[in-house]
Amino acid sequence: MSRPAASPEFAGLIRRFWMPVWRVPTGEVYTQRVLQYPVCLLVVTGAYARFYGPSTGLSGTPLSGDGWAAGVMFEPAAGALLTGGEVARWTDSHVELADLFGPVGESLTAQIRAAMAGDPVSPQAQSAAVDRYHDFLRHYLPVDEQGLLVNEVVSYVEDNPEVNRVADVCAHFAIGERFLQRLTRHRVGLTPKWLVRRRRIQDATWRLRTGVTTIAAVAADLGYADEAHLSRDFRRVTGMTPGAFAAHYAD
């Protein structure tokens, strides 16, 4: 999978592009389930073109046959700018680009498919797709001040593993908890508590994948009172216990 860079002018709106190409043997289906970042996505393939809201749990798309995707992972600020409203409306859901953006969405879909049709692996095709996305998304610049703030909030939670409470975030930005709740619901579609929990569970999944630590050690390192508290949060987000998750990656 390649990850073409966005133009610097889109800092604050686009986090990155990604361009996977797959070939799954006939009769087989491959699904990779991942814990997404707290952001919205825009994805065009040969079969569909969708805007995805943030996901509160593991997400995955079944892949079969030969195919490709041209995707945009946005910064947290982008969802409300693109949809013109509260992002919470789109949490754990998606909508076709034609339904969300009308004829402009249909045009974008056709342009991305035309760019990728010849050889989706080629840098030229992927660069052309990125250019079409740039043309479409330039309309949503510049990112507003509230959007820049929510980008900073999410980045602070993601980049600082010592942040284990919503109160830590409020103290760092000198804002009240109710304001923070309204901000993240409107701009991210998620609660501040979920943002902190997702980062802690993301850290836990990476540690458990290695198989060189214990669940009790992970719980202690991530600031949980005990293993049971970690297990409760882990299962709520992933649908699996930490033990089952670790065993899956040990196989």
* Domain boundary pick from 86, 120, 140: 140
Rounded-to-integer distance, Cα 146 and Cα 192, Å:
16
* Domain boundary pick from 140, 163, 192: 140
Q: What is the CATH number of the domain that holds 168?
A: 1.10.10.60
Domains of the chain: total = 2
Q: Report the pLDDT value the prediction gives residue 251, as an integer from 0 to 100.
A: 63
Instruction: List per-residue pLDDT tens for the chain, 251 residues long.
Output: 889 989 999 999 999 999 999 989 988 988 877 788 899 999 999 999 999 999 988 887 888 888 999 999 999 999 999 999 999 999 999 999 999 999 999 999 999 999 999 899 999 999 999 999 999 999 999 999 999 999 999 999 999 989 999 999 999 999 999 999 999 999 999 999 999 999 999 899 888 888 778 899 999 988 888 899 999 999 988 888 998 888 877 66
Assign 126 to helix, strand or coil: helix
Closest CA to 80 of 136, 130, 143: 143
Closest CA to 187 of 5, 13, 11, 8: 13
Q: Report the pLDDT value the prediction gives residue 34, as an integer from 0 to 100.
A: 78
> Residue 32: which domain range?
8-140
Q: Report the pLDDT value the prediction gives residue 113, as an integer from 0 to 100.
A: 98
For 197, the token pair is 């929990």
Instruction: Kindly report the pTM of this predicted structure.
Output: 0.91
Rounded-to-integer distance, Cα 101 and Cα 209, Å:
40
Rounded-to-integer distance, Cα 49 and Cα 62, Å:
15
Residue 25 and residue 81 in one domain: yes
Burial 117-133 (b: 16+ CB within 10 A, else e): eeebeeeebbebbbebb
Assign 185 to helix, strand or coil: helix
